[in-house]
Amino acid sequence: MSGIKIVVIGGGSSYTPELIEGMIQNHASLPVSELVLVDIEEGLEKLLVIESLARRMFQKTGLDVRLNATLDRQKALRGADFVLSQIRVGGLPARRKDESVPLEFNLIGQETTGAGGFAKALRTIPVVLDICRDMEKICLGAWLINFTNPSGIITTAITRHSRIKCIGLCNIPINMERAITGLLGVDPSRVYCRFLGLNHLSFIRNVYLDGQDITKEILKRVAEDASIAENIPDIAWSTELIQSLGVIPSPYLKYFYHTRAMLEEEREALDAGRCRAREVMDIEKELFALYRDPGLEEKPAQLSQRGGAYYSEIALSLVDSIYNNTSEVHVVNTVNRGAVSDLPPESVVETNSVVNASGAHPLAAGPLPLTVRGLVQEVKAYEELTVEAAVSGSKKTALAALVNNPLVRDAEAARDLLDRIIENHPGYIHLT
C-alpha cells in the first residue's frame, strides 16, 4: 500500500472529530492519503458540518489527505483499505424506544444489552450486511472495523454471513485497563490484563503487574471504585459479589448482577426525563454547535463527555497493527477458534488477540471461570439466536432469542414485547 484509504460509514457522527485527531497524530506510522465520510440522507447536514471541521483540522496540521463526504456508499468504497462502521440505525429516536419500551414490561431498557440491544440488533444487522454486500463487490480485500453496537452481535453477523474481513471493537476493555492502571498508579507497560467473554459481557480473569498475578488484590479495590464506564448509571458493585466472582466484571455486568437496582434507576430516570438517549441528544446538539464554529480547528474538549473515551486510540492502533503487520496484542471481538474452550469455535468472543496484516488471532484461554461460565454461555446462545432471527426473519427464532436473554427470559413478557418491537420499527424489522 502506498497511502491508506479509509472510509467511515456513519461519518456524520459526533465522534468523527476524535478519529480525525487520531489520524493526524498517527500520520507518521499510518500514512492516510484519502478519507471518505459516508452517511445517509437524514444525516446530510451533520455530515457536512463534520466534513468542514475535518478539513479545517487537516489543514491546520498541513497534512495532505484527500477528504470527501458523500451519500454514495458504493462510490466511496472503491479502493478502500479500511472501512470504519459506526452507524446507529434509526438514530436517537429509535434508541429512545430501545431504552423506554422494555420498562413498560418491567424489563431493563438498555441499548446494547437486554431487550433494547435486541431491538437494536434486529434493526442493524440487515443494514450492516448490506454494507458487506457492497464491500464484497467493490473492495473485498478491505478490512471492516466495526464499532456499531451491539458490537459483538454485529461482528457475529458479519463473520458468519459475509466474506468480509472484520474485527469488532469496543472501548470498554481499554477503559477497564486504564482504570486498573490508575488504581495501581503504575505505567501501563507493566500491567497485563487477561480479558475473556463477550462484548459488554467481558471479565478480566487476571491482572498481572510485572508478570505477578495480583488479581486478588485488585478485586478488593474494584468494589469500592467508581464506575469506569461513564455512560451507564453509577450503581455500586456489591462487594460480596465481586469477591464471589473472583474476576473483574465489565461495568455492563451491573445490568445482569444488579438488575433490580438498575431497573429502579432506569425507571426513575425516565420519570425524571433523564433517559440516556435524551442526554445524548442534548450533548450532540451542543457539540454540533461547537463544530459549526469556523474558527474551530481541533477536537473540542467537550467531546470526551460523549462516552467514547479512547475510541480513536483503539481504532487507529488497531488499523496500525494491521497496516504495519505489528503482531501486537489488542482486546477485540473476533472468531473464537477454540480460544475460550467453553464456547463454540465459530462464536465471536471479546478477548486478547494478536493483530497483524493477516487479521486478529485470539490467545488460547482455556475454560471460563466457573463463576461466570454459565452467564457467558447463556448470553452467547442469545446472541446467536438474535443473529439467526435477523438473518432468517423468523419471529419464532426471535422469541427464542428473547427467552434466552437473562434480562428478559419470561416467555409472556418476551412475546408481548416482541410484538411491540415489531410494531415500533416497521421500516427496519420484518419478522414473520
| Catalytically active residues, by annotation | 252
Q: Which stretch binds a second copy (CB under 8 A): 84-92, 118-126, 132-140, 381-389?
A: 381-389
Of the pair 13, 202, the CB lying nearest a second copy is at: 202
**Residue from 130, 366, 392, 430 binding a second copy (CB under 8 A):** 366
Cβ neighbors of 281 (< 8 A, separation 6 or more) are 92
Of the pair 289, 363, the CB lying nearest a second copy is at: 363
Please name the residue that has the C-alpha cell 464506564. Answer: 229
CA distances from 338 to 147, 196, 204, 347, 349 (A): 24, 12, 18, 9, 10
Of the pair 257, 288, the CB lying nearest a second copy is at: 257
Would you list the DSSP string of 43-75? GHHHHHHHHHHHHHHHHHHT---EEEEES-HHH
Q: Is 210 in the site for a second copy (CB under 8 A)?
A: yes
Q: Is 357 in the site for a second copy (CB under 8 A)?
A: yes
Q: How far is the CB of 345 from a second copy (least distance, A)?
A: 6
Q: How far is the CB of 416 from a second copy (least distance, A)?
A: 10
Pair type for strands 82-85 and 212-213: unpaired
Q: Is 345 in the site for a second copy (CB under 8 A)?
A: yes
Q: Is 371 in the site for a second copy (CB under 8 A)?
A: yes
**Residue from 119, 176, 332, 339 binding a second copy (CB under 8 A):** 339
Q: How far is the CB of 390 from a second copy (least distance, A)?
A: 15
**Residue from 206, 227, 304, 424 binding a second copy (CB under 8 A):** 206
Would you list the DSSP string of 1-40? --SEEEEEETTTSTTHHHHHHHHHHTTTTS-EEEEEEE--
Q: Is 140 in the site for a second copy (CB under 8 A)?
A: no
In the region spanning residues 176 to 195, those forming contacts with a second copy, defined by CB under 8 A, are: 189-190, 192, 194
CA nearest neighbour of 200 among 265, 117, 125: 117
Q: Is 223 in the site for a second copy (CB under 8 A)?
A: no
* 353, three cell numbers: 488477540
Q: Which stretch binds a second copy (CB under 8 A): 40-48, 130-138, 309-317, 341-349?
A: 341-349
The beta-strand segments (E) located in 39-189 are 66-70, 82-85, 143-146, 165-168
In the region spanning residues 316 to 335, those forming contacts with a second copy, defined by CB under 8 A, are: 322, 325, 327-329
In the region spanning residues 406 to 425, those forming contacts with a second copy, defined by CB under 8 A, are: 406, 409-413, 415
Q: Is 374 in the site for a second copy (CB under 8 A)?
A: yes
Q: Is 379 in contact with 198 (CB distance < 8 Å)?
A: yes
Q: With CB under 8 A, what is the number of residues at the site for a second copy? A: 74
Cβ neighbors of 286 (< 8 A, separation 6 or more) are 302
